[in-house]
Amino acid sequence: MTSKSPAAGRMILLNPGPVTLTDRVRAALGAGDWCHREAEFAALMQDINTRLAGVHPELVSGYRAVTLAASGSGAVEAMLGSFAPDAGCTLVVANGSYGERMARMLAAHGKPNEVASHAWTAAPDVAAIEMRLGLDPRITHLAVVHHETTTGRLNDLEAIGSLCRRRGVTLLLDAVSSFGAEHIAGAGWNLGALAATANKCLHGAPGLSFVLARYDLWERQPARAGSVYLDLHAYHSAQHQDGYSPFTMPVQIAFALRAALLEHEEQGGAEARLRTYRARARAVHVALAGAGVATLLDPAEYSSVLWSYRLPAWQSYSGLHDALKSQGYVIYAGQGALAREIFRVAFMGDIRPAELERLCELLARQCAPQP
């Protein structure tokens, strides 16, 4: 029996954020109008920061969150500008668009940096990175993307983090599309700070992002931030004293983030979300494999959050995208040189069982060999 299309008015977003919101989170957007300089909103932001630090158990005791009005990239730039050193050097591990973006951010802020460049389809060469650390004592920090959504690769942070711990190198982590689902360690990775956002694995609305940093980084004499708006120490001084922020925050988006964090907790936290995403990814992979569609990477190399697939020879991305969108589903294109070769499917957000079943049917039909 053919499953039903998404309910009227629902668009199922299969792009890597923003996501399809639950009814509860969407309703929170209409909770009311608050002034961002009132005590009630300050208390709300302090509650959000406390809950963010509790999303991953390894971060509860040693890390503190601040929240800012920005996309995930805004949080990454704030993290790098506030914590990458002016003396010393940051090594950027780049195997996709977002690693390369971190290098551009550091350059824009005038921060000393080197780049360990890899092909977009390659895993980080941990042995080569270790050799580079050994040859260059200037390198005190390492910046890397946890889940590189360019391809869907989950970079091996167990190996990279262990290397940082052994070498005493501070890890600065882009966890924008992994926070809330994939495993994140703290001291075990010598994690100094991570950046993430509300509208990916946490299932909040876009507009707020955040940075978690180790206590000692907040208390240390700050690096030259190179920006007034992105100076995280100013946010920390305000949000962890009276709760206010140095700039206007999107009040309704904060309501939605708190609702999303409550749902995340009630549903079992990061481990439960990881299981949910893996089950969705498995269902989609079975459907596409049955239609003869190949993955870009080895399946074992993917995150739970997003997978990339090679476009069938007879199917353009626009044709596939438009056919699915007409049925209420939005997939995602490849980037750069991969734009003509792949499509991407993310598994975040409020995707109901019947909608997942219908998606698998549509993908198999649209990608099946043509007669």
The mean of the pLDDT values for the chain is: 96
| Cβ within 8 Å of residue 43, ≥6 positions away | 243
Q: CB count, 10 Å around CB of 4?
A: 11
Taking the C-alpha atoms of residue 362 and residue 283, their distance in angstroms, rounded to an integer, is 13
- Tell the burial category of 369 from Cβ atoms under 10 Å away from its Cβ (0-12, 13-18, 19+): exposed
- Pick from 143, 252, 247, 261: nearest CA to 197: 261
CATH architecture of 23-266: 3-Layer(aba) Sandwich (3.40)
Tell me, which fold does domain 12-16+269-367 have in CATH?
A: Aspartate Aminotransferase, domain 1 (3.90.1150)
Lowest mean pLDDT among 2-6, 21-25, 317-321: 2-6
What is the per-residue pLDDT for 45?
Answer: 97
pLDDT tens, position by position, 123-139? 999 999 999 999 999 99
The answer to whether residues 184 and 144 touch, using CB atoms and an 8 Å cutoff, is no
Q: CB count, 10 Å around CB of 250?
A: 16
What is the per-residue pLDDT for 267?
Answer: 97
Residue 329, pLDDT above cutoff 60: yes
pLDDT tens, position by position, 76-116? 999 999 999 999 999 999 999 999 999 999 999 999 999 99
Residue 261, pLDDT above cutoff 70: yes
pTM, 2 dp: 0.96
Residue 323, pLDDT above cutoff 50: yes
Taking the C-alpha atoms of residue 173 and residue 176, their distance in angstroms, rounded to an integer, is 9
Shared fold status for 12-16+269-367 and 23-266:
no
Reduced to 3 states (helix: H, G, I; strand: E, B; else coil), residue 229 is coil
What is the per-residue pLDDT for 9?
Answer: 76
pLDDT band (50, 70, 90) for residue 370: confident
Give the start-to-end residue ranges of the domains of the chain: 12-16+269-367, 23-266
The token pair at 219 is: 């208390």
pLDDT band (50, 70, 90) for residue 350: very high
pLDDT band (50, 70, 90) for residue 221: confident
pLDDT band (50, 70, 90) for residue 1: very low
For residue 100, give the DSSP letter.
H
pLDDT tens, position by position, 141-178? 999 999 999 999 999 999 999 999 999 999 999 999 99
Taking the C-alpha atoms of residue 143 and residue 155, their distance in angstroms, rounded to an integer, is 12
What is the per-residue pLDDT for 223?
Answer: 73
